[in-house]
């Protein structure tokens, strides 16, 4: 099946309905990603409340972060199951379901009794809810990319995917801002007593609002056409992916590894790195991180827009080189003069925005009948490994070299550059369809 025959006309411009779809999908993604990420901002408090008081701080924190990591490990299973039904019964249904599966556990977290109230059942319930969150986000991200890609005109697919990726990063920023507001509004004693619940309750409300917003969305024209023409997958979609699209799976996994490590190293781990290695005050590192996330969101839009105009290969090639240069400037610059924190980190954040070009490649790498399953399997499996291994590997490396994050990002940029060169070759060989197996 040729994926191009099942896409909206390429000559059509983005219309009012397209912008509405993009806005609602991106807003929903931001609110859902807030629900998934807010846990990490209150990990210290949760560690003290959900484990025995006699337990050493380091051990309770280790177990708390273990519960946080469980959300990542649950992503592949949740993503694969939801993608399976998305390929067979419709994108919109799973797109809406993912919001509900995220909102309810987040709301429940805000009402959980602590270890003092119910003992060992408290951390077990927290773990269960975190696993449900992971399953939800595993279906949300690939589902959002597929949904908007199948709505937008072909020549604007990259921009549409960039808008979704930008929205997800705004969810990180929203979590950071609300966590900061809670810490400013309440004392540490009040937070430990009850105020820690506020961000989770807000997240549950966010999820319900996002679910209502998605009721206004329509099923994608691509799926509707496949259903009408009876061209839906006749066998298990994942089976078809693994049998007939091995090259697309490998390419998508490499690009997901690149995306995940760029985000984890440059955005999620950088504030703690700055505080430890260069004695940057927490308030300064978090402010700089917020600026970097805003720049990242802008970079995702630019990367998606360039992908439509220059092609995925050239965009990834140039963006990977830019990220390599900016990461070296940031880490080397901080080692020499930490007063340049804000401009250097903002520049790095913008360059990380090249990840906004990644979903364009992945949605085009699989035919429409198995697109959701192919993208979800590749993305979630690769992200689980990259997100889980990177903090461990980098922590070990940092014991021997303070520039480890820079070198680590440089290695990933080489992967991005190689993928870009490969895509340029494939695109010249046979156009967009050549990306598929």
DSSP 145-193: HHHHHHHS-GGGHHHHHHHHHHHHHHHHHHHHHHHHHHHHHS-HHHIII
Note whether residue 3 is domain-resident. no
Asked, for residue 6, whether it belongs to a domain, the answer is: no
Closest listed residue to residue 259, CA positions, set 347, 160, 362: 362
**Max intra-chain CA distance, the chain:** 66
| pLDDT number for residue 1 | 39
CB count, 10 Å around CB of 222? 22
**Domain end among 232, 266, 285:** 232
Range of the domain at 335: 235-437
More confident residue, 142 or 230: 142
Q: 11 falls in which pLDDT band (50, 70, 90)? A: low
- b/e for 289-303, b at 16 or more Cβ within 10 A? bbbbbbbbbbbbbbb
- In this structure, the answer to whether residues 297 and 413 fall within a common structural domain is yes
Higher per-residue pLDDT: 236 or 407: 407
Out of 189, 215, 232, pick the residue that ends a domain: 232
168 versus 72: the higher-pLDDT residue is 168
- Look up residue 258 and give its two tokens: 């690149």
pLDDT score of 316: 95
Mean residue pLDDT of the chain comes to 84
Are 81 and 145 in the same domain?
Answer: yes
> How many structural domains is the chain composed of?
2
Tell me: the pLDDT tens digits for 161-204? 999 999 888 988 888 888 888 888 888 889 889 999 999 999 88
First vs last C-alpha separation in the chain: 11
**pLDDT at position 304, please?**
94
Give per-residue pLDDT as tens, 367-406.
888 898 899 999 999 988 887 778 778 878 888 888 889 9
User: How many residues can be counted in the chain?
Assistant: 437
Closest-CA residue to 333 (of 257, 278, 287): 278
Whether residues 178 and 313 fall in one domain: no
Q: Which DSSP symbol is given to 156?
A: G
Task: Answer yes or no: do 107 and 209 share one domain.
Answer: yes
- Say if residue 173 is in the same domain as residue 219: yes
Read off the CATH number of the domain in which 68 is found.
1.20.1250.20
Cα-trace Rg, the chain = 21
Residue 5 lies in a domain: no
Alpha-carbon distances, residue 150 vs 14, 18, 153, 360, 437 (angstroms): 13, 11, 8, 11, 20
Q: How far apart are CA 278 and CA 316, in angstroms?
A: 31
Q: Tokens 């990380």 — which residue?
A: 352
Do 218 and 248 fall into the same domain? no
Q: Are residues 27 and 170 in the same domain?
A: yes
pLDDT band at 358 (very low <50, low <70, confident <90, very high): very high
On whether residue 102 sits in a domain, the answer given is yes
Give, as one character, the DSSP assignment of residue 4.
G
DSSP 15-50: -HHHHHHHHHHHHHHHHHHHHHHHHHHTHHHHHHHS
Residues 42-63: what's their mean pLDDT?
A: 78
Half-sphere exposure of 3 (CA within 13 A, CB side): 23
Instruction: For residues 356 and 305, give the distance between their C-alpha atoms in angstroms, rounded to a whole number.
Output: 9
State the Cα–Cα distance between residues 431 and 427, nearest whole angstrom. Answer: 4
CA dist., res. 427 & res. 429, Å (int): 5
**C-alpha–C-alpha distance, residues 147 and 345, integer Å:** 32
More confident call, 162 vs 82: 162
Residue 431 to residue 178: CA distance in whole angstroms: 45
257 domain residue, yes or no = yes
Residue 169 lies in a domain: yes
Query: Is 70 exceeded by the pLDDT of residue 61?
Result: no
- Do residue 119 and residue 255 come from a single domain? no
In whole angstroms, what is the distance from residue 350 CA to residue 105 CA?
Answer: 33
**Domain match, 221 and 275 both:** no
Has residue 110 been placed in a domain?
yes
Considering the domain architecture, whether residues 206 and 247 belong to the same structural domain is answered as: no
Q: Is the same domain home to 189 and 269? A: no
Dist. CA 204–CA 214, nearest whole Å: 15
Residue 413 lies in a domain: yes
Burial of 20 (0-12, 13-18, 19+ CB in 10 A): middle
Is 186 found in the same domain as 103?
A: yes
pLDDT tens column, 250-281: 999 999 999 989 998 898 888 878 887 888 88
Supply the pLDDT for residue 161: 92
Q: Cα 124 to the chain's mean position, in Å?
A: 26
**Cβ-based neighbours of 309, under 8 Å, separated by 6 or more:** none
Of the residues 193, 214, 232, the one at which a domain ends: 232
């Amino acid at each position: 099946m040729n994926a191009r025959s099942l896409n909206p006309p390429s000559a059509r411009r983005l219309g009012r309905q397209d912008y509405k779809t993009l806005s609602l999908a991106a807003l929903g993604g931001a609110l859902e990603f807030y629900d998934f990420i807010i846990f990490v901002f209150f990990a210290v408090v949760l560690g003290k409340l959900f484990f025995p008081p006699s337990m050493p701080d380091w051990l309770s924190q280790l177990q708390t972060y273990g519960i946080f990591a469980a959300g990542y490990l649950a992503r592949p299973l949740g993503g694969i199951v939801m993608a399976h039904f998305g390929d067979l019964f419709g994108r919109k249904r799973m797109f809406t379901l993912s919001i509900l599966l995220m909102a309810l556990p987040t709301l429940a977290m805000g009402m959980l009794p602590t270890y003092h109230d119910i003992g060992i059942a408290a951390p077990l319930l927290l773990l269960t809810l975190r696993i449900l969150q992971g399953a939800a986000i595993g279906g949300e991200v690939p589902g959002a990319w597929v949904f908007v890609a199948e709505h937008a005109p072909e020549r604007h697919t990259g921009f549409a995917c960039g808008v979704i990726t930008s929205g997800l990063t705004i969810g990180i920023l929203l979590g950071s801002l609300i966590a900061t507001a809670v810490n400013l509004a309440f004392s540490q004693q009040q937070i430990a007593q009850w105020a820690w619940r506020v961000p989770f309750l807000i997240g549950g409300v966010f999820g319900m609002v996002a679910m209502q917003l998605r009721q206004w969305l329509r099923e994608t024209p691509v799926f509707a056409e496949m259903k009408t023409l009876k061209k839906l997958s006749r066998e298990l979609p994942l089976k078809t992916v693994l049998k007939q699209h091995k090259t697309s799976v490998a390419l998508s996994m490499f690009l997901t590894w690149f995306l995940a490590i760029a985000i984890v190293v440059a955005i999620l781990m950088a504030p703690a790195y700055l505080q430890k290695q260069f004695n940057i005050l927490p308030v300064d590192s978090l402010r700089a991180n917020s600026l970097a996330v805003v720049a990242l969101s802008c970079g995702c839009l630019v990367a998606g827009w360039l992908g439509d105009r220059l092609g995925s290969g050239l965009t990834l090639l140039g963006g990977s080189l830019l990220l390599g240069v900016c990461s070296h400037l940031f880490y080397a610059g901080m080692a020499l003069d930490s007063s340049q924190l804000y401009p250097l980190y903002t520049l790095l954040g913008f360059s990380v925005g090249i990840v906004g070009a990644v979903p364009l490649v992945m949605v085009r790498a699989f035919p429409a009948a198995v697109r959701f399953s192919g993208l979800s399997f590749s993305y979630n499996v690769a992200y689980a490994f990259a997100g889980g291994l990177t903090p461990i590997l980098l922590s070990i490396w940092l014991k021997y070299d303070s520039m480890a994050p820079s070198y680590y990002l440089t290695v990933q940029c080489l992967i991005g550059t190689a993928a870009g060169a490969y895509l340029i070759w494939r695109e010249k060989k046979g156009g967009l369809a050549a990306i598929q197996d």
